[in-house]
Structures are given as structure tokens and as C-alpha cells.
Structure 1
Amino acid sequence: MLDAPLPPAPGADTWLALDFANTAIALPNGQYVDLLGNPASVNSWLAAHNLASENADVQELCATQLRALREHIRSLFAARLADAPALPTALDAVNDALTRIPTAPLLRWDDKTGPYRAAPCPTNKILEHAMATISANAADLLTSREPLIACEATPCNRYLIPHGRRHWCSTRCGDRARAARAYARRTPR
């Protein structure tokens, strides 16, 4: 387990789906951190991203569905990076999430402030709303011209939007990759 969470990967502040995909983190020495590992952490992540209230009381079934969506989105990211066909099950999962709720915000009217737009989200549809929002963002990222890449540090499995010459999701991964290169140069084959 991490003492302190890794900072968000470059681009995660802009792309919700990128931040979501990076909630499964592979670390050195075979360690693995799942930021959606239990219902409480799922609830915290959703609340931190304004997809659910702090007291949404996410249950394990919902957490499992969200983790499954994450793996489908990660699969689509990997397919894009490999320039390979997407798995039909991953496409189906994202498209199913996209069609579960209306995407157009409805016109509402407040007697004091007047008209405004808001998406309907009854409390029994919080998970569907979150999954649709994440899926829509993933579809936007996959169809954008953003240069999505995988972190180049082994064994890191996070994705990022590179800027400049940086090809790592964090300073920690960059340091690890540079140390591995230096070690490889010094070590005879």
C-alpha cells in the first residue's frame, strides 16, 4: 500500500476518464493499489469528482460494476495505443453505459432565478449517471487528437497526456526509469 497516493498523471485534471483509468496502480515489487478497491473508496472517488454525494452509500455490487467499466476503458486505451482493434465487449460496455441515462440536460425553472439546465439524476441512478459521465469522457478522449500514452516506467500501468518530453506519469516513475537506464549502462551484459 502507498504511504501517500501518487499525484494525478498529466492530463488527469482535464480528462475524468484518464483519472478513472488510473485508479488501478501497479507498483514496483509486485505491489498493486486499487483506489476503487472497496465501496467506501468508490464513494470517496465519486464524491471527489462530483459524481455522487459524500453519503451516497455505494454498495459492493456498484463498486464491482465501476471496476469492470474501468477495465473496459483501460482496454480501449490500450487498443488505441497499440493501434489494434478494440475488444467488442469493451465497446459494448462503454456504449451501454452511455445509453443508460439521458445525456441532454433538461430545462428547469426556478421561481427566483429563472431558467437553468440540469441533468436528471434520481438517487437510484447515481451509479448509471457516474458510469455514463465517465464513459462519455472516455469516448471524447479516445476520439480526440490528444496524444494519449502509457507511462514508460516499468511496471507502471498508468496513462497520461504527455507534455514536452515527459513520458512518465509522475516524478517517482521518471526517477525509477532513469535509474534503471543508468544501471543498465553500468552493468555488463
Structure 2
Amino acid sequence: MSETPTAEPVLPPAPGAADYVALDFVNSAIALPGGQFIDLLGTPASTNQWLAERGLAPPDAGVQEMCATQLRSLREHVRALFAARVAGLPALPAALSAVNDALTRAPTAALLYWDEKTGPYRAAPCPVNEVLDHALAALAADTADLLTGPDAERLTGCGSTPCNRYLLRHGRRHWCSTRCGDRARAARAYARRAR
């Protein structure tokens, strides 16, 4: 499989990705026809861009390869949890541990600060070295919200081979994009003609 290090969108966001960044996160590794593969977190620069576009890191965060690797690892664990949920199977303990570990990386309450001119205010601590922890915690929290919330029943995998993206089903739609829907319909029509 070839890996393209670009962060350019190849497909529109899957249904539900606007509501759950966790869907967008698992769908950042895209399998395309012809054995092509695009990883939007494939390089530190593309990872930094992906995080910044979603408000999870400042544009100049300077993500390093170690951080990108941790994000890709969490993505695979979240993908495993989504696959287990869709298939109605028990979750892998390692995937649960990875998400729970990410959930505990960042404080949940905004701390109290004091500005000499304006007085007290609350804000989440986020020095540059904690950007990754906050991004991991936010992605894990969104994953937990999706898997435990009312939309969990709508979570499904794209029904078009070889697509590996997840979406929230609306009605009978089982495709992440028009492109995948067209490919699935064409495959069904070809199978009918071949019979």
C-alpha cells in the first residue's frame, strides 16, 4: 500500500464527523480502491495540521514523530472499539486501557489563574509540552461520549469495499460518501449482470 503524506481531504467528512471528532479521528486513515492508502496523521507536519484544524492544538505546536505515533496508536485502539461496537463483540482490553489512559492525561477542570490587570480567571493548563496530552484526552473523551451516548446505535462501517471509514447511519444510508455509495451500487449492478 502506498502512503500519501498529504493532509488534503480526499473524501468529504463522513456523516456524524461534524458532531464527533472521534469519527473524524478514526477516519484519518483512509483505504482507497487500487490498494492506495492515505494517512492524514502520517507525518508530524500533517498531524499538526490535522490537530490545528480541529482546534486540538495550536498551528505552531511543533508536533514531533513521537507525538504523531502516539496519536496513530490511539486511533487504532479507537478503531478497534468502533469495530467491536458495530459487530456487537466485547471490546479488546488493550483498546479500553488505551482510551482510559488517554482520558486521564489531562485535568478535567479549568484551573484558577490570576492576571495582575484583570484579576482571576479560569483556564485549562496547556503549556506546549502538554498539547499532546490534551489532544489525546479530548479525542478519548469524544470516543467515550459516542460509544456510550444515544448515537452509538447509529455507528456503522462504510458498506463499500475497500473503504474502512466509520459513520453515523442516517436511515438506510451505509456509505461514508457519495463516491462510496456509487461504487457499491455499481458493484451490485455488475454482480446482477454477471449472474
TM over 0.5: yes
Residues 72-91 of structure 1 mapped to structure 2, 5 A cutoff: 72-91=77-96
Report SS of the residue matched to 2:150: coil
- Tell me whether 1:127 sits opposite 2:140 in the alignment: no
Structure 1 counterpart of 2:65, one-letter code? E
CA drift at 1:104: 1.7
TM-score scaled by length of structure 1: 0.93
- Tell me whether 1:100 sits opposite 2:108 in the alignment: no
CA drift at 1:14: 0.6
Residues 150-161 of structure 1 mapped to structure 2, 5 A cutoff: 150-161=157-168
Q: Cα–Cα, structure 1 residues 70 and 120, in superposed 2: closer, same or farther, change >3 Å?
A: same
Structure 1 counterpart of 2:31, one-letter code? A
2:142 maps to: 137
- Could you list the structure 1 runs, at least 4 aligned residues long, displaced by more than 6 angstroms after superposition: 111-114
2:55 maps to: 50
2:182 maps to: 175
The one of 32, 51, 71 equivalent to 1:27 is 32
CA drift at 1:100: 1.1
- Tell me whether 1:187 sits opposite 2:194 in the alignment: yes
Identity %: 69
Report SS of the residue matched to 2:125: coil
TM-score scaled by length of structure 2: 0.90
Moved more, 60-69 or 104-113: 104-113
Measured in 2, the distance between the counterparts of 1:112 and 1:170 equals 51
Measured in 2, the distance between the counterparts of 1:124 and 1:63 equals 14
> Structure 2: 5+ residue runs without aligned partners?
none
CA drift at 1:145: 1.7
Aligned residues: 188
Measured in 1, the distance between the counterparts of 2:130 and 2:149 equals 28
Residues 55-74 of structure 1 mapped to structure 2, 5 A cutoff: 55-74=60-79
Measured in 1, the distance between the counterparts of 2:38 and 2:172 equals 27
CA drift at 1:78: 0.4
CA drift at 1:108: 4.4
- Tell me whether 1:6 sits opposite 2:3 in the alignment: no
Measured in 2, the distance between the counterparts of 1:12 and 1:123 equals 27
Structure 2 counterpart of 1:120, one-letter code? P
> Structure 1: 5+ residue runs without aligned partners?
none
